[in-house]
Structure 1
Amino acid sequence: MIDADLSRRGFLFGLGSLALMACTGRTFASQLGTISSNVPSAFAHPGLMHTQADFVRMAQKHIRSPWVGSWDLLVASPKATLSYSSAPVSTIYRGRDVTQNFSRLYNECAAMYGMALRWKITGDATYAAKATSMLNGWASTLTSIQGRDRALVSGPQGFELANIAEMLRDYSGFTDGNLASVKNMLRTIFYPISHDLLSNHGGRSPLQINANWYLFNMAAIMAIGILCDDRVLFDEAVGYFKTGNGNGCVMRAAYYMHPGYLCQWQESGRDQPHTMDGIAAMAVVCEMAWHQGVDLYGYDNNRFLAGTEYSAKANVIASGTTYYTVPYVPYQNGVYTWNTFSILKQGDATPCWALIYNHYVNRKGLAAPYSTKKALAIQPEGGDWDFIGYGTLAYTLDAIPTGAAPSGLSGYISAGAVVLSWWGGVYAIDYTVKRSAQAGGPYTTVASGITDLLTYTDTPPAPGTWYYIVTANTPHGESAPSNETAVLTGTHLHTHLPFNNTIGTSAADASSNGHAGTLNGGATWVAGKQGNALSLNGSNGYVALPNQLMDDVADFTVSVWVFWNASRNSERVFDFGAGTDRYLMLTPCASSGVTCFSMTITGVSGERSINGNAALPIGTWVHVAVTLSGSVGTLYVNGLAVGSNTDMFLAPFRIWDSNQNWIGRSQYSSDPYFNGKIDDFRIYHGALSVDDVASLANAP
């Protein structure tokens, strides 16, 4: 087990109780470019979990409902009192390999935060003085954090301590020297552990450490960066959120997007408290970044909201004692295999929901029905030695006067039909889907009265490109339309490499879509099945295709002629992906001894595969094709189906940001290069029929 037992989690701080290319399933496919563009050069202070405007609002509203509920819990807390006894130690231990004392620090963090918050709201400086004395004590005493699970101190408590110092930095009794000492403690004791987790993953595979570990340490790095005015640390956390190779990356933490923008969380098959820990930690990362002008809440078309909606729905009572149900696909990462949604501690009340609900609903005007239900179900949010959030007090905003128009509309093809999803507005009554054969309309209504989920599956009258918008029915009439999304239906060439070149290192794309290949190493031109072909030497020859080659592909067909010179396991006819954790590939002979096509987004243990009935023969031209229609995948050899799998829930677009798209080379550096010839390589949008595949195999 990588993760510690966090059933008594003492580290949540300050939390509250596409225009997409046609046939992708991505939600505004991640724009992974500049990490922190349009960010002011100087950090705003206070600017971690609370701004000065937040403190003013709390002071004004803490005696009014619903804010007063959290305030009463804060005042009643035995920790947020002047009589609390502080006892700093030089070393904090966490992990089964040591005698643990980490509860000492997180209890004192809860106390310091509570007293700092009482000072900010009431102006009673005795609370600031007490919190300052305690913080100074830790800064002058603590020298190290030890134990197997020390990252579960560096992350949550590093984040907490930075927030406490940020709250006290304008207290006259908290001197520049005091602040410098706290910064030094955080930089030299906490940050190195957090940075090492993100960089080295405890010596394990990045995906074998769960999301909550990464996210709390990302929160610590971001908080320390803001407190210390260190742009490098801030950018480290933002960059990991967007492109990190561990489960702190939003694309990995919010693991699988179901229709209607319900995104299955990475730990949903484990238990609900750990799931909520990850969501809580991602919420604080988003909130701190928001206060510094970086919108991670909205990144990749509100992917975090999709994750919160999924998890909130799964943990809210639908009726009686029955929870809402959510869709689920298996999760495997080499250590854990979670094949079903976990009901362990379902209904977990981690106090992070006021923050999430108020951002998306009352800041942005978006509909977040399940996050709203969850926030209201646990209101008022309190804080004890486990969770010291008081979110109803800290994050509740006045209701937004008007909701947003529908937005984020995207569509992809599944089993030949168009699957649409969109975000709604908070005051919408229901939604209407409209379709046109041309960009900009005129549009015809194809569905109306849609309420929940915000998804619709359409079957257009003919193959081609179809254009969609969504409008909302509101108390004030029909809303403005959403963005328009275009979806290509039917079967169409996506890439066609005839390999008929005779010289040079560029393989022309006959589809006119600009997907030319580049020959590398021992890749040459020879006589082929028809005309010329690509010859690969089995040692370093391969063809590289453009980045993000199949980011816009859902249902698909790959068709290729293969001449295999000599049998070696794990060679690749093609392998498209971004490393050994996410790819789609075809091998003429897997370790099982048969032809195999596989896709994964969690490494080899998570592969969804279609196995043939034998390895490809050597010394002869063979036609091979793979099709995917919805969740049904089929493998063909010489026009005949030799294998199928009806549980292929992955699709090329779910691999996201593929930048290693190769013919003849594997994502795994230890696998051999392909030794043989390749001819007439084709990718189609859409799944070709059995007869169409046979026609390709039997063509002259």
Structure 2
Amino acid sequence: MSRTSPHRASQQHASEPAELSRRGLLRTAGGLTAALALAGSSAALAGTTAGAAPAAFTHPGMLHNAGDINRAKVRVAAGTDPWLSGWKKLTANSHSQSTWTPNPQATIIRGGTGENYGILYNDIAAAYQNALRWAVGGTAANGDTAVRILNAWSSKLTTLTGNADRFLAAGIYGWTFCQAAELMRGHAGFDLAAFQKMMVNVFYPLNNSFLTHHNGACITNYWANWDLCNMASVMAIGILTDNAAKYDQAVTYFKSGAGNGSIAHAVPFLYTDSGGYGLGQWQESGRDQGHTVMGMGQMGAICEMAWNQGDDLYSYDGRRFMKGAQYVAKYNLGQDVPYTTYKWGTGQNCAQMSQTVISAGSRGALRPVWAMLHYHYNRRLHLDDKYISAMYGRVAPEGGGGDFGSTSGGFDQLGFGTLMYAK
């Protein structure tokens, strides 16, 4: 079936500007000034399409850049909200304590007999949260703990296995683990080379295998999040290891990949509501809202990492992702949205399935995915993000892993967006 709405052309606002490549600005001698001008002026949005990987990667340059870290540091020290409220959410979390003891495993299993992947996602949350406390608060003990967690795992983990869910483990825990390592880059005692080796040898092969072969299944068999987490991991590993080919692999898949995580497949149908807001039906909307909201966090992470390397995927294809996020937010706020029957092929033989109505399962569930999107579209680009903004208001100040339940769904996003993205 066609993955685009038959009415797509008429449903987009004619006045929407093209997506912008920031790299040219960031590479110039006046790159900082130009980047600040870009962040503060919607008039700067006319530009060319993003290209290949940067000539030199920016570090830190994944979910957080140096400006994000400095802003949070200054605002927290001054006791200014909402940063201070976000900081208090972080310091109250049990995972952010410098007393955390890592529990590294040689083998992580997700799916099937002997599952133990909860050990990994808890340690990743602890590594990230301690890294944030060190980066923002400057506390040496937290920095030492983050390093201790990262080194413990890179010296022991050799295998990710299980049933098909092993690909979820490689994707979700691949990109999230890289975030802590990027923050600790250059810290005394951190064995960056060993951590890079682990990511390349243990995580990337599964990421690449899934995006290339989809576990031998029909290309549409797996939901968008399966692609998205593996794309995010490939991008994060590319940045962490300064590998342009891996970074480009993720960007290319985002734009034109055959699976459900590429942008046109993840947001297959476009609409405009009565208020004039562009909406985009999310691929998992007929499944349940928990996984749909998860998609906001996974695709948001890809867009934020790319942004910090000079590529504007947030605005790619007429800001298609923003329309998807507005749609998901509006429905989870309790409002009605349009829905087009979604059809896809399953299994190895592409047996046809369809969903005729949007799912109310987990509707309204709160997860820490909205700050990143709100502060990008509303504060960087000065756009009216009515529904995204309202959803962010419900969860703010954002917490992170450990604040949204003990199961894996509560750890799929690292969180703390209020602290790190408020502008």
TM-score higher than 0.5: yes
1:351 touches 1:382 (CA, 8 Å); kept in 2? Answer: yes
1:36 touches 1:235 (CA, 8 Å); kept in 2? Answer: no
Give the match for residue 307 of structure 2.
290
CA shift, 1:334, in A, is 2.4
1:35 touches 1:238 (CA, 8 Å); kept in 2? Answer: no
State the one-letter code of the partner of 1:158: G
Seen in structure 2, the aligned counterparts of structure 1 residues 229 and 23 have a Cα distance that, compared at 3 Å, is closer
Identify the match of residue 88 of structure 2 among 55, 63, 72: 72
* Identity rate, percent: 39
State the one-letter code of the partner of 1:150: R
Give the match for residue 27 of structure 2.
none
Q: Matches of residues 411-422 of structure 1 in structure 2 within 5 Å?
A: none
Give the match for residue 281 of structure 1.
298
Work out the CA distance in 2 between the residues paired with 1:58 and 1:75.
14
Give the match for residue 503 of structure 1.
none
Work out the CA distance in 1 between the residues paired with 2:158 and 2:193.
16
CA shift, 1:302, in A, is 0.4
2:175 touches 2:229 (CA, 8 Å); kept in 1? Answer: yes
Q: Which has the higher helix share?
A: 2
Give the match for residue 359 of structure 2.
342
2:60 touches 2:183 (CA, 8 Å); kept in 1? Answer: yes
1:35 touches 1:239 (CA, 8 Å); kept in 2? Answer: no
2:234 touches 2:247 (CA, 8 Å); kept in 1? Answer: yes
Give the match for residue 156 of structure 1.
172
SS at match of 1:155: helix
Work out the CA distance in 2 between the residues paired with 1:378 and 1:29.
30
Identify the match of residue 94 of structure 1 among 110, 121, 126: 110
Question: Runs in 1 of length 4+ with deviation above 3 angstroms?
Answer: 22-31
CA distances 1:633-657 after superposition (whole Å, capped 9, x unpaired): xxxxxxxxxxxxxxxxxxxxxxxxx
Give the match for residue 330 of structure 1.
341
SS at match of 1:208: coil
Do residues 389 (structure 1) and 415 (structure 2) align? yes
SS at match of 1:258: strand
Seen in structure 2, the aligned counterparts of structure 1 residues 29 and 121 have a Cα distance that, compared at 3 Å, is closer
- Between structure 1 and structure 2, the one with the greater Rg is 1
Work out the CA distance in 2 between the residues paired with 1:29 and 1:267.
28
Give the match for residue 48 of structure 1.
62
State the one-letter code of the partner of 1:211: A
Seen in structure 2, the aligned counterparts of structure 1 residues 35 and 364 have a Cα distance that, compared at 3 Å, is closer
Do residues 180 (structure 1) and 193 (structure 2) align? yes
CA shift, 1:59, in A, is 0.6
SS at match of 2:220: helix
CA shift, 1:285, in A, is 0.2
CA distances 1:70-121 after superposition (whole Å, capped 9, x unpaired): 21111111111122121101000001x2221000000000000000000001
CA shift, 1:134, in A, is 1.1
Structure 2: 5+ residue runs without aligned partners?
1-7, 20-47, 347-352, 403-409
Q: Matches of residues 12-51 of structure 1 in structure 2 within 5 Å?
A: 36-37=50-51, 40-51=54-65
Work out the CA distance in 2 between the residues paired with 1:23 and 1:51.
36
SS at match of 1:348: coil
Work out the CA distance in 1 between the residues paired with 2:224 and 2:187.
35
1:139 touches 1:181 (CA, 8 Å); kept in 2? Answer: yes
Q: Matches of residues 497-576 of structure 1 in structure 2 within 5 Å?
A: none
Q: Matches of residues 314-463 of structure 1 in structure 2 within 5 Å?
A: 314-316=331-333, 323-335=334-346, 336-385=353-402, 386-387=410-411, 388-397=414-423
Q: Matches of residues 485-500 of structure 1 in structure 2 within 5 Å?
A: none
CA shift, 1:168, in A, is 0.3
Seen in structure 2, the aligned counterparts of structure 1 residues 105 and 359 have a Cα distance that, compared at 3 Å, is same
2:12 touches 2:271 (CA, 8 Å); kept in 1? Answer: no
Q: Matches of residues 599-638 of structure 1 in structure 2 within 5 Å?
A: none
CA shift, 1:173, in A, is 2.6
What is the TM-score when the length of structure 1 is the normalising length?
0.51
SS at match of 1:334: strand
SS at match of 2:108: strand
Work out the CA distance in 1 between the residues paired with 2:62 and 2:368.
18
1:225 touches 1:233 (CA, 8 Å); kept in 2? Answer: yes
Work out the CA distance in 2 between the residues paired with 1:291 and 1:92.
31
Work out the CA distance in 1 between the residues paired with 2:244 and 2:339.
39
Work out the CA distance in 2 between the residues paired with 1:312 and 1:217.
24
Give the match for residue 267 of structure 2.
254
1:243 touches 1:249 (CA, 8 Å); kept in 2? Answer: yes
CA distances 1:120-165 after superposition (whole Å, capped 9, x unpaired): 0111111111111111110010010001111111111111121111
Give the match for residue 232 of structure 2.
219
Give the match for residue 57 of structure 1.
71
Give the match for residue 121 of structure 1.
136
Give the match for residue 205 of structure 1.
218
Q: Which has the higher strand share?
A: 1
Give the match for residue 237 of structure 1.
250
State the one-letter code of the partner of 1:186: M
Work out the CA distance in 1 between the residues paired with 2:250 and 2:312.
13
Give the match for residue 160 of structure 2.
145
Work out the CA distance in 1 between the residues paired with 2:158 and 2:331.
42
Give the match for residue 640 of structure 1.
none
Give the match for residue 641 of structure 1.
none
1:49 touches 1:284 (CA, 8 Å); kept in 2? Answer: yes
2:106 touches 2:158 (CA, 8 Å); kept in 1? Answer: yes
Structure 1: 5+ residue runs without aligned partners?
1-21, 317-322, 398-700
CA shift, 1:170, in A, is 2.6
Give the match for residue 107 of structure 1.
122
2:134 touches 2:143 (CA, 8 Å); kept in 1? Answer: yes
1:90 touches 1:144 (CA, 8 Å); kept in 2? Answer: yes
Seen in structure 2, the aligned counterparts of structure 1 residues 248 and 120 have a Cα distance that, compared at 3 Å, is same
Seen in structure 2, the aligned counterparts of structure 1 residues 341 and 187 have a Cα distance that, compared at 3 Å, is same
SS at match of 2:246: helix
CA shift, 1:30, in A, is 9.8
2:108 touches 2:116 (CA, 8 Å); kept in 1? Answer: yes
Seen in structure 2, the aligned counterparts of structure 1 residues 223 and 90 have a Cα distance that, compared at 3 Å, is same
Give the count of matched residue pairs: 365
1:58 touches 1:121 (CA, 8 Å); kept in 2? Answer: yes
State the one-letter code of the partner of 1:46: P
Give the match for residue 193 of structure 1.
206
1:254 touches 1:266 (CA, 8 Å); kept in 2? Answer: yes
1:35 touches 1:235 (CA, 8 Å); kept in 2? Answer: no
CA shift, 1:29, in A, is 12
1:145 touches 1:153 (CA, 8 Å); kept in 2? Answer: yes
1:90 touches 1:143 (CA, 8 Å); kept in 2? Answer: yes
Give the match for residue 407 of structure 2.
none
SS at match of 1:92: strand
2:238 touches 2:244 (CA, 8 Å); kept in 1? Answer: yes
Work out the CA distance in 2 between the residues paired with 1:221 and 1:35.
21
CA distances 1:332-351 after superposition (whole Å, capped 9, x unpaired): 21244221111111002111
Q: CA RMSD in A?
A: 2.0
1:286 touches 1:297 (CA, 8 Å); kept in 2? Answer: yes
State the one-letter code of the partner of 1:326: V
Identify the match of residue 170 of structure 1 among 157, 173, 186: 186
State the one-letter code of the partner of 1:47: G
1:36 touches 1:238 (CA, 8 Å); kept in 2? Answer: no
